[in-house]
Amino acid sequence: MESRFAMSSLGSPIVDRRAFLLAGAGAAAAGLLPRSGRAEAPCAEYNLTAASAQSPILGASRPWTEVWSYNGSIPGPEIRVRQGEPVRINVRNGLSEETTVHWHGIRLPNNMDGVPGLTQRPIAPGETFTYKFTPPDAGTFWYHSHSNSLQQLGRGLTGPLIVEEAERYPVDRDLVWMFADWRLTTDAQIASGFGNAMEAAMSGRVGNTVTVNGAISSGEQVHAGERIRLRLINGALARIMALRFEGHRPVIIAVDGQPCQPHQPPNGRLLLGPAMRIDIVLNLRGKPGHHYAVRDDFYENLAYTVTHLNYSANAALRTARDDNDVPLPGNPLPEPDLQGAEPHQIVLQGGMMGGGMMHGMGGMSGMAHDASWSINGHSMIGDGQASMPSLLTLPRGRSIILKMQNKTAWWHPMHLHGYSFKLLRRNGTPVPHRQWGDTVLMAPKDNVDVAFVADNPGKWMLHCHITDHQVSGMMSVLDVR
């Protein structure tokens, strides 16, 4: 039932579209009916087809945008499974180029990780590949293409992946807001120019149109007195977001799917780099009939309203509850042994400086043509290939500390595949609220230490999730064996 809730809560153009998908004969093919089989079958099954489609990003009355999507919807269908329950996802490639799907944040077997060349042969046009895994952790995750990432992500190949806790968290509704950022031309088409070298050495391809669940949003309909869980997913190519909920006090209960101690964000500002997720609880204490803006003020002087909380005129459902400090149940993450841990330095370099000079690239030996960025002096470019040498070999079962140093003048959301890591310190200060993540946002010159137990064997990507940075050098491979 929760998935119905989430769907009926989407912005209006999308409601119609999804309702149509649900009602139509395409519903089964759209992969939207996994729950029916749950009681009988031990395994949830989904079908995703990556193909081009038309989507009303700017609203049904404006020109529709040609996108690449899963099952014709932007974002792709919500995949919702239970913690510890196996899932199979049949991915058919209806594009005219190779693709793969990465299940971002899920701790899964290496050969299901979706990195072309490195963990699997890419899915050729017309072929189908079946991904199978059993998510050990409950939380908010997402899936996206990992092939020709700049274009495949930038044209829409992303979707939410929700792993439910065994017991329902005490809220009235559970909603997903998946953000995307598009660079649209005046006729609402996706602008060309992916992979611009100048942009790649700076902030990446930041767009001009931010959508919530696939369309520009006029708001979420809410009721006074309600308590909602809102799962925020930044599925943008490059845009970092800093969200403020006017008139409300969000409480963070999970970061990157992993439960933390419930806390309010510093200055009421939720920092969400590309690929990051934050689950919040909102007690809706606004006035019936009022509208409250949700603003993103990350980039200086470029603040804008992402969406609104639109209160119905009805009187409050109940007097506000004060129980929003309930923590989520923990996930079965192995606790790293910090005393015995093996430390490794990870140094991020490159990018444009204020004066347009390249800076601090270290040894040029590992540098590929077109590289703007490097990790420990090496630049791997692209999306993944069979021949990628490993930056580090980590002994299986050992606790590892990555001491990451951002020597650049730019922000980087650094993502490790196959693991969640514990955030230990930022610039020498312990990170509060027991936070884990799979993507850590590093400010210019930040030093961040993270730790994990290297219990999942295989070759795992470590890369910046600003896609232009990833494909122009800020990528490496950690080999656990």
Q: How far is the CB of 276 from Cu ion (least distance, A)?
A: 13
Q: Which position has the token pair 């072929």? A: 127
By CB under 6 A, name the one of 412, 415, 422, 459 that touches ligand C2O: 415
Whichever of 231 and 469 has its CB closer to Cu ion, that residue is 469
- 277 counts as binding Cu ion under rule CB under 5 A: no
For residues 461, 346, 179 and 309, what is the CA-based torsion angle, rounded to 10 degrees? 140
Binding mask 248-277 for ligand C2O (x = CB under 6 A): ---------------------------x--
3-state secondary structure of 266: helix
Alpha-carbon torsion (77, 82, 83, 88), positive or negative: negative
Structure-block tokens of residue 207: 């767009």
Count CB neighbours of 86 within 10 A. 15
Whichever of 11 and 274 has its CB closer to Cu ion, that residue is 274
User: Over the range 48-74, which residues count as b (16 or more CB within 10 Å of their CB) and which as e?
Assistant: bbbbebebbbbbeeebebebbbbbbbb
Dihedral-angle region of residue 247 (phi above 0 means left; psi in -120 to 50 means alpha; beta otherwise): left
- 469 counts as binding Cu ion under rule CB under 5 A: yes
- 461 counts as binding ligand C2O under rule CB under 6 A: yes
Q: Which stretch binds Cu ion (CB under 5 A): 68-76, 209-217, 331-339, 410-418?
A: 410-418
Q: How far is the CB of 163 from ligand C2O (least distance, A)?
A: 16
Alpha-carbon torsion (357, 360, 364, 368), positive or negative: negative
By CB under 6 A, name the one of 229, 277, 417, 422 that touches ligand C2O: 417
**Out of ligand C2O, Cu ion, none, which partner does residue 466 contact, by CB within 5 to 8 A per kind?**
Cu ion
Count CB neighbours of 271 within 10 A. 18
Whichever of 202 and 464 has its CB closer to Cu ion, that residue is 464
Round to whole Å and give the CA distance between 31 and 22.
10
By CB under 6 A, name the one of 107, 144, 277, 378 that touches ligand C2O: 144
Structure-block tokens of residue 312: 């119905």
By CB under 5 A, name the one of 464, 471, 477, 480 that touches Cu ion: 464
3-state secondary structure of 392: strand
Q: How far is the CB of 401 from ligand C2O (least distance, A)?
A: 21
**Out of ligand C2O, Cu ion, none, which partner does residue 469 contact, by CB within 5 to 8 A per kind?**
Cu ion
CB 421 within 8 A of CB 435: no
CB 203 within 8 A of CB 296: no
Round to whole Å and give the CA distance between 391 and 378.
8
For residue 133, what is the enclosing H or E element?
A: strand 128-133
Whichever of 448 and 464 has its CB closer to Cu ion, that residue is 464
Q: How far is the CB of 440 from ligand C2O (least distance, A)?
A: 13
Q: How far is the CB of 241 from ligand C2O (least distance, A)?
A: 16
**75 upstream amide cis, omega within 30 of 0:** yes
Round to whole Å and give the CA distance between 73 and 228.
25
Whichever of 245 and 460 has its CB closer to ligand C2O, that residue is 460
Binding residues with ligand C2O: total (CB under 6 A): 10
Q: Which stretch binds ligand C2O (CB under 6 A): 203-211, 325-333, 423-431, 459-467?
A: 459-467
Binding mask 356-395 for Cu ion (x = CB under 5 A): ----------------------------------------
Whichever of 104 and 183 has its CB closer to ligand C2O, that residue is 104
Structure-block tokens of residue 220: 């979420």
**Out of ligand C2O, Cu ion, none, which partner does residue 155 contact, by CB within 5 to 8 A per kind?**
none
Whichever of 244 and 469 has its CB closer to Cu ion, that residue is 469
Q: How far is the CB of 225 from Cu ion (least distance, A)?
A: 42
- 104 counts as binding ligand C2O under rule CB under 6 A: yes
By CB under 5 A, name the one of 48, 371, 462, 466 that touches Cu ion: 466
Round to whole Å and give the CA distance between 436 and 426.
13
Q: How far is the CB of 412 from Cu ion (least distance, A)?
A: 3
**To the nearest 5 percent, what fractions of the chain are helix, strand and coil?**
10, 40, 50
- 146 counts as binding ligand C2O under rule CB under 6 A: yes
By CB under 5 A, name the one of 146, 205, 412, 422 that touches Cu ion: 412
Q: Which stretch binds ligand C2O (CB under 6 A): 13-21, 254-262, 284-292, 460-468?
A: 460-468
Round to whole Å and give the CA distance between 471 and 87.
30
Give the residues lining the site for Cu ion (CB under 5 A): 412, 464, 466, 469
Give the residues lining the site for ligand C2O (CB under 6 A): 102, 104, 144, 146, 275, 415, 417, 461, 463, 465
